[in-house]
Amino acid sequence: MTEHAVAAGRAARRRRLWRRFRRRPMPMAGLVLVVGFVLLALAGPLVVGDPAAQDYLATLAPPSPAHLMGTDDLGRDAFARIAHGAQVSLQAGVLSTLLAMAVGIPIGLVAGFYRRWLDPVVMRLVDVTLAFPFLVFAVGLAAIIGPSLKGVVLALGFAQLPAVIRITRGEVLAVREMDYVAAAVADGAGDGHIILRYVLPNCASPLIVQATVAIPTAIIGESTLSFLGLGVQPPTPSWGVMLTTAQQYLSDAPWLAIWPGLMIALATLGFNLLGDGLRDVLDPRSGR
């Protein structure tokens, strides 16, 4: 009975949020772009050809029915490479963000909740690292870790960490002042219970929004690292690697730069629009 009532309440809440979200055109456009991107990354590699297959008779060929997006200098199909590159981008974006959240949220929760003891130390470290621009930090980390997809994920994940900690901690500081936290203390609830059942759920909305901002930043980060040779290594197709190649053929084969550039832009735009929409919908202060 208890679980049933709770589940019913949660379902009702989700339906209400979805109704609110659906009415807005820009977030819906963002959702469509994100879903398209994820589909491309998951299903694309299954339908397109081998991204490494070289067609020596058609190098630097413009878009045609045989090669929808044209071919590169080695005669590899650009569309196949874009689809496989989407997979790399999605992994880099999502895994690095998950890593940052998995490590950063607990640190932020504990720092914000035990403000007196831990907070000064943690925040000093966060401030120092936040003084570096995200990409500079990521490039530095990637240079240390070494070039590979795993390295990209680790570098981008750690580069995001300070921001995640700062946002979580800021939310915790606000939430812990709420009377419902005092009520839980008055019940005799322990810190663990209060942090997990009272504080964390009430910090979740801004963190979800943060994730939708962090993923596209990490996608750009992956492209940048790969473009600089610090990320995914050549035969593996990545949008950043494709840009590096394209740069040499800008006048002969401009499409080689246009496709990955356009994909990065669309994926980034999609996540950002989605994030803006989620921010509006999840904010309890906005209309019911």
Q: Tokens 């994820």 sit at which residue?
A: 38
Out of 1, 65, 192, 287, which residue is the one contacting another protein (CB under 8 A)?
1
Q: By C-alpha distance, which of 226, 45, 216, 228 is closest to 149?
A: 226
User: By rule CB under 8 A, what string of x and - marks binding of each residue 151-180 to another protein?
Assistant: ---------------------------xxx
Binders of another protein: how many residues, by CB under 8 A? 25
Considering the complex, what minimum distance in angstroms separates the CB of residue 11 from another protein? 10
Closer to another protein by CB, 190 or 254: give it: 190
Residues between 3 and 62 that touch another protein (CB under 8 A): 3, 5-6, 8-9, 13
**Cα–Cα distance between 139 and 136 in angstroms, integer?**
5
Could you tell me the smallest distance in angstroms from the CB atom of residue 122 to another protein? 23
Please state, in angstroms and as integers, the Cα–Cα distance from residue 160 to each residue in 8, 53, 122, 226, 276, following that order: 36, 36, 15, 18, 19
Query: Which segment (149-157, 182-190, 217-225, 267-275) binds another protein by CB under 8 A?
Result: 182-190
Q: What phi and psi, each to the nearest 5 degrees, are found at residue 71? A: -130, 165
- The dihedral sign for the CA sequence 249, 255, 256, 259: positive
Distances (CA, A) of 138 to 17, 236, 245: 35, 20, 22
Q: Does 116 bind another protein (CB under 8 A)?
A: no
Among 23, 46, 57, 288, the residue binding another protein under the rule CB under 8 A is 288
The closest alpha carbon to 150, from 221, 95, 83, belongs to 95
Instruction: Tell me the closest approach of the beta carbon of residue 194 to another protein, in angstroms.
Output: 10
Binding mask 184-223 for another protein (x = CB under 8 A): xxxxxx-------xx--xx---------------------
Nearer to another protein, 128 or 204 (CB): 204
- At how many degrees (to 10) do helices 2-22 and 255-282 cross? 130
**Residue selected from 65, 192, 284, 287 as contacting another protein according to rule CB under 8 A:** 284
Selected binder of another protein within 32, 121, 131, 183 (CB under 8 A): 183
Contact 112, 119 (CB under 8 A): yes
- Pairwise CA distance, residues 179 & 266, whole Å: 43
Q: Residue 98 corresponds to which tokens in the numbers above?
A: 């998950």
Q: How far is the CB of 159 from another protein (least distance, A)?
A: 31
At 100, list the tokens: 């940052």
Where does this chain bind another protein (CB under 8 A)? Answer: 1-3, 5-6, 8-9, 13, 178-180, 182-189, 197-198, 201-202, 284, 288
